[in-house]
Amino acid sequence: MLEVNQRISIPLKEFTYTFARSGGPGGQNVNKVNSKVTLHWDVTTSPSLPEDLRTRFLAQYARRINKEGMLVISSERYRDQGRNVSDCTNKLRDLIVAVATPPKRRRPTKPTKGSKERRLAGKREKAQKKEQRRKDWRSE
């Protein structure tokens, strides 16, 4: 069971793990052991994820989810398969926690009187500068 917080817990049976040989240093052992772990999780049909969280998750991580609705997370940080499995689940937990807090509503504000005046003064200065650059075509 992957415990994200009190509201969200995902059973491990929803995850599919695949294992492969990891790249990088490791001596002769790296050629024999499948230490790279890839976690597949079907976000779109997971009953463990609340609907509001699912929509935010799909919007936030749309680039990480493939056409079948599967989120794919891989880890080959460690030489040990078990540590890579826990690393994948920790990465998933971090993704869910980042989306779990709803975004704060934006409070619409209006520009202050001073900022309006500064903006208009800047526009007047630029217009005056351009006006001075102009050549008087009537005097020729």
Using the structure block, give the residue that is written with the tokens 């003064």: 121
pLDDT computed for residue 21 by the predictor: 83
Average of per-residue pLDDT values in the chain: 86
The answer on pLDDT for 139 being more than 70 is: no
pTM of the model: 0.68
Which has the closest alpha carbon to 69: 49, 45, 92? 45
Domains and CATH numbers, the chain: 2-100 (3.30.160.20)
pLDDT tens digit sequence for 86-99: 999 999 889 988 88
pLDDT in tens, 52-85: 888 888 888 889 888 888 889 999 888 888 899 9
Q: Give the pLDDT band (50/70/90) at residue 26.
A: low
CA distance 102 to 109: 21
